[in-house]
Structure 1
Amino acid sequence: MNDVTITALKLQQLSRRCDYTALAPRLQKACAGNGITAPAEVAAFVATCCVESQGLTVFAESLNYTVEALLAKFGRHRISEADARRLGRIDGVDARGAKVVVRKADQQAIANLVYGGAWGAENLGNTEPGDGWRFRGLGPGQVTGRANMAALEKAIGLPLLAHPELLADPAHGFEASARLWKAKRMGQLVYGPPEALRRAWNGGLNGLAEYKGWLVQTRNILGA
């Protein structure tokens, strides 16, 4: 089967809310430059980026979670119920029955907790105070952690340890996500169960249902 070309029209069909005209050539360049050209692999890579970036619209991780969502997403081995109640967003209802935010989530503290400590050091290379927030998910593929940033800094020549926010610019973010994809040898997993691919990319099964949904769309639109 022929290699896939990502066009603005295809991205528009995939996610009408994204800046498809600007993003398409950057995504195409990152894929082609890193050997992500087989239809099935392109579909899986784009679907992964769509999961992590809310349809290619958000390029910096939000940790604006409610108390309940924190516990469901990260588990009590990463955040205690007491810390979730202390840091998580609390929603309420006003006199008219409309949803209101009673207390905002402390996103910086949440990131430093769930991406820091012994777990963060072992799994993400986050060894310095504040690394959890500094190296939270950035870019279309939500590259996370000091270790990944250090490896990508060497690979693409950007000062990511000093300025990880550079990955929030899709011009850099797609390239970084594609490099990490190849480094993790994700292409070997695209023909297997989606669960294996999500675990390899995300470290767990967060976003599995969303990935399956996006994958159906990317395969249809990209002809995979």
Structure 2
Amino acid sequence: MAVLSSTHPGTREERSLREDGAYPRWAKILHMGLVLAVTFELYNSLAALWFANFQWFPLHVATGIFLTFWLVLCWAFYLGTLWGRALLWSWFFPAHLPAIIRDLRALFLGRLPAAGPVPGLSSLWQGVFFLGVSFVTFTGFAAWLVLEGYISWPGATHLGLHAMRLGTPLLAYLWFGHGFMAFFHALRRQPLWGIFAFWRGA
């Protein structure tokens, strides 16, 4: 694993994104898994919360277990590779606040923020969404383990239920926002759909 610079945080990560702005194949595969699993889980959670529809609940549980392990895999790749750490850096580095403010100002003037893994509003949105999905999924998985009798963790079921009830509408908002922004970027002929072409790339 490469050692990151401590004097100039993000320097190597930023160079990695600039030199390889295209998503590597493993990142595309991880993204595809997240898109499918998170979309299905959000649909089922909203159906249960708003319409008391539990028709697909057994499949919801199975998909939630899959998503838990998929997220662990995502975090492992993001933290364990230079490109992945570059992505996390573009999401969470505090010095990117000016870029976020610049994108917000441009958005109010009718200009879309920059797309892709670069510092700014788009990256912050993706980072918050990924953290939210991770928190709701992991707490839900812990609650399921308690309900099934695999572990003993007082309060885990309440934490999981509250995380789902409060987190699902917020995550749905972030999901729709992310999707609509991607659609608008695509209308401007910006090459976003390559992230789904996991048969291409290194």
TM range (shorter): under 0.3
The structure richer in helix per residue is: 2
Please give the TM-score of this superposition, normalised by the length of structure 1: 0.26
Q: Which is strand-richer, 1 or 2? A: 1
Q: Which has the higher contact order (CA 8 A, sep 6+)?
A: 2
Q: TM-score, normalised by structure 2?
A: 0.28
